[in-house]
Amino acid sequence: MPGSWSIAGVLLASSALAGCDPAPSGPAAGDVDRARLLATDTVAAEWLTSGRDFGETRYSPLGRIHVMNAAAVGLAWEYEWRSHVGSVHWGLEATPVVVDGVMYSPGPWGSVAALDATTGETVWRYDPKVDPSYTRKGCCGPINRGLEMWEGRVYIGTFDGYLVALDAATGEEDWRVDTFLDRSLSYTSTGSPQIAGDVVVLGNAGGDFGVRGYITAYDLDTGEERWRFFTVPGDPAAGFEHPEVELAAQTWDPDSAWEGGLGGTVWGELAYDPVLDLLYVGTGNSYPYPIWHRSPSGGDNLYLASILAIDPKTGRLIWHYQTVPGEIWDYTATQNIILSTVLIDDQPRDVLLQAPKNGFFYVLDRATGELLQAENFVTVNWAQGIDPETGRPIPNPDANYREEPRVVFPSSAGGHNWQPMSFNPETGVAYIPAREQAMLWRSLDVFDHRPEVAYQGFAASWPPFPEEYAHLAEGLPDIGPNEFLLAWDPAAGRELWRVPRGSMWNGGTLVTAGNLVIQGTAVGTLDFHQADTGERIHTIHLGTGVMAGPMTYEVDGVQYIAVMAGYGGPRGSAYPLGSAAYDYESFGRLLVFKLDGGDVPLPPAQVTPSTPEPPDLAVDMDRIRRGAELFGLHCSICHRASDEHLSAYPDLRRMDGGAWESFDAVVLGGALSANGMAAFGDLLTLEDATALRHYLTSEQRRLWAAESTEGN
C-alpha cells in the first residue's frame, strides 16, 4: 500500500532499534526519532506524542489493564500543578508524553514539568514567565494543548507566542523564537507544535478577536524560520506572500474586511505522515462570522474551515479540502486529525479522519484529499448532506441568519470540539466526545472591527433561548445541550453505540487493547467503558473536572493510566452547571493510576461567597444599560459568573468595599495586572468605568435581595 506504514517497515525499524547497544549511562533524555515513532506498535510501553504515535490515534496496544480487572484501578501518584495566578486556577487540557520512564507534562502558559513516570518526583520544571496580564489577549485562559519531543529536546509554544526548544535532560532553553507578526493584535498560542521532517511547525489562536491565521516552520536545531503559510489572504493591495493565498483571494470579495484579519487560525493538533512526507493542518473559523460583513459578495473564502496537506520541506500546498465553504457558524476544522488505514469498499485505504465542529465525520484519502466518506454523527441542519461527487455540503437556506434569526444545529460548540477523539486501528472504530445542541443566531446591522473585542457582527444564544425567540425551536429536534460518548464506524459512516453524559464539556478519549475506552468528565470522574459495547465498568471519583485526553504507558511491567484534570478552556472561566467545581476547588492536577492503586484525595470543598451589602450608589438606568453592554464586550469573557454558571475568576457581582474602592485603579490602571487582570484604560474611559459600576451595583443589589429573602 503506497504511503502506508507497512508491518515489515515497522518490524525492520523495531529490529534495528533492538540491535543497537545502549550507551553505558542509558538512553539520552527525550530520545525520540523517526525509527522509534514508526515502531510504536511493537514497542507499546511508550507514549511518544500527544496522540501516542505518528497517526495520533490515541490507541495503545497495552492490555495489562483490561475489562476484567479495570475495577481494581486506583491512584498511583498525583502531581499538583496548582497552576494559578492570584485566585484563578487555570485549566489543564493537554496529554502528557512518556519517554524512557520520564513523563513530560505541559501546563498553562506553556510551562512543562518533567516527572519520574513511576513516582511523580520532579526532574525539572520550566516556567516561560509570561506576563499574567497577557490573558486579556485570549478567549479561554492561558491553556496549552501539547508538546513535542525530538532527539533530546522538548518543543512547546508559550501562550504569548514564543516557540521554545528545551533540553529534555535539564529543562534549560536551547532556543526561543517569536512566532507572532504583530504583537499589537490579540494573537495567542495554545496548540501543540508538530515535528514534520526536519522542521517544527506552530500555529496560533485569536481568530475570534480579529487576527489572520498562519503557521510557521522552524529549523529543529537552531529555530531559524524555514517558511510561513498564511491560511487566508491579506489585503491584495499589499501583495501576496505566496501563490496559495493569491489563489485563495479569488474566493473573497475584493472589498473584504481585510483590517479584521479574517480568521482561519490554526490552534488545534496537527498531524504528519512520515512516508508521504505531508503535514496536515486544520484551520479555524472566520472573522467576523457573518460573511455579509466579512466578504459581502460571498465566496468560498479559502482556506477557512479547511484541511490542508502541505509539503514540510517547502511550505507549498499539495491539496486542500474545505469542510464549510463561506463559513458563518464558527465551524472550525481544528479538531484532532487521525491518520490510519481503513477498508473502503473492501479495499484498504490510507486515510485521514476528522470529526470537526460541523457535525460530519470525514474520511479523506490522505495522499490526494479525495472524499471517501462523510456522514453526520450528530443532528445537523446547516447542510442537507455532503455531495459525494463534489465533496461540497448541500446548503440549507433555513440556516442562513442574515435576514432573520435562525436556530442551527450544531451550535458553535460543535458536534465535536477540541477534546480529542481516539481511534482503534485494529477494530476500525472511533470514539468521539460528542455533543448535540442547537444555537440561535441573529445578524447585527453593523460590523465595526475593534481589536481585542471578540465575537462581532452577530448575536447568538445557547439553549435555553430568550423567551421572544423560543418559538423558533418548535418542530425541531431536542435543542439540547446533550453530550455523550459516541462509538463511530468511519468506513460505514454509522453509529455503533452512545453513552449519554449528564454534564457538559467532558474530556477526550483513550482506547486500548484491553477493550477499554477511558474518558474524564466535567463532574470529576474518570470512567472506564467496554469498547465494543459502551458498558461502563468502573468509575473513579476525582473531585476535579476533566477536559483533557487520558493516556497510558508501561514501566517495569506495570501499566499506568494518566490524565490531566483541571477545568477551563472552551467556556473561558465558566464552569458548567453540575460540574465538580461546584463542590470542590478546581486547581490543576496530574493524576496517574495503576492496578491495586489507592483512593484519590479530594480537593478542598468549594466555598461560594455570600453577597456583601451593595454600595450606596444612586444607579441610573441608562448607565446600567451601557454598563451591561460594556461588561458583555470586555469583561464577561473572563468574569462569566451568572445565575447559571460558576466562575474561576472573581465574581464582580459580589465585590466588597475594598474592591469597590479600587475599582477604577484596577480596571483602568492595571493595579492587579500581576494577578492577570490587565489594564483596560486604552479601551475604556472613566465614564465607561462608571457605567460598569452602575451595572454591577444593580446586579449586586439583586443578589443581595434574593439572599436576604432566602435567609428569612
pLDDT 10s digits, 618-627: 989 999 999 8
Cα 551 from Cα 449, distance rounded (Å): 42
Q: Is the domain defined by 621-711 classed in CATH 1.10.1520.10?
A: no
pLDDT confidence of 654, banded at 50, 70, 90? confident
Query: pLDDT tens-digit profile of 386-434?
Result: 999 999 999 999 999 999 999 999 999 999 999 999 999 999 999 999 9
Instruction: Say which residue the cell 524555514 belongs to.
Output: 226
Q: Which residues 6+ apart lie within 8 Å of 608 measured at CB?
A: 646
* Percentage of residues in the chain having pLDDT higher than 90: 72
pLDDT at 60: 98
The mean per-residue pLDDT over the stretch 375-387 comes to 98
Q: What is the mean pLDDT of the chain?
A: 90
Q: Which of 283, 284, 233 is nearest to 257 (CA)?
A: 233
Sequence-separated contacts (24+) of 125-130 with Cβ below 8 Å: 125/171, 126/154, 126/164, 126/166, 126/171, 128/158, 128/159, 128/160, 128/162, 128/164, 130/158, 130/159, 130/160
Query: pLDDT tens-digit profile of 227-237?
Result: 999 999 999 99
Three-state SS for 384-426 is EEECCCCCCEEECHHHCCCCCCEEECCCCCCCCCCCCCEEECC
Catalytic machinery residues: 330
pLDDT at 451: 76
Written as nine digits, the cell of 178 is: 517569536
Decide if pLDDT at 24 tops 70: no
pLDDT confidence of 341, banded at 50, 70, 90? very high
Residue 610 has what DSSP assignment? P
Residue 363 phi, psi dihedral angles, 5° rounding: -120, 115
Decide if pLDDT at 11 tops 60: no
Cα 246 from Cα 629, distance rounded (Å): 39
pLDDT at 650: 79
pLDDT confidence of 83, banded at 50, 70, 90? low
The mean per-residue pLDDT over the stretch 162-179 comes to 98
CA 15 to each of CA 10, 18, 49, 124, 328: distance values in angstroms, whole numbers, following the listed order: 9, 5, 21, 33, 51
Query: Greater confidence, 304 or 677?
Result: 304
Query: Greater confidence, 302 or 90?
Result: 302
Decide if pLDDT at 25 tops 70: no
Decide if pLDDT at 703 tops 50: yes
CB 680 within 8 A of CB 668: yes
pLDDT at 644: 60
Decide if pLDDT at 576 tops 80: no
The mean per-residue pLDDT over the stretch 294-313 comes to 98
Please name the CATH architecture into which domain 59-389+404-595 falls: 8 Propeller (2.140)
pLDDT at 222: 98
Return the H-helix or E-strand segment holding 711: helix 686-711
pLDDT at 641: 65
Query: Greater confidence, 534 or 577?
Result: 534
Q: Which of 480, 348, 503, 339 is nearest to 414 (CA)?
A: 480
Please classify residue 123 by burial: count the beta carbons closer than 10 Å to its beta carbon, then call 0-12 exposed, 13-18 middle and 19+ buried. Answer: middle
pLDDT at 434: 98
Residues pairing with 103 in the sheet: 98, 115
Question: Omega of the bond prior to 108 within 30 degrees of 0, cis?
Answer: no
Decide if pLDDT at 39 tops 70: yes
Decide if pLDDT at 226 tops 50: yes
Q: pTM to 2 decimals?
A: 0.91
Query: pLDDT tens-digit profile of 526-561?
Result: 999 999 999 999 999 999 999 999 999 999 999 999
Decide if pLDDT at 669 tops 70: yes
pLDDT at 19: 37
pLDDT at 45: 95
The mean per-residue pLDDT over the stretch 340-349 comes to 95
Domain ranges, ordered by start, for the chain: 59-389+404-595, 621-711
pLDDT at 127: 95
The mean per-residue pLDDT over the stretch 321-347 comes to 97
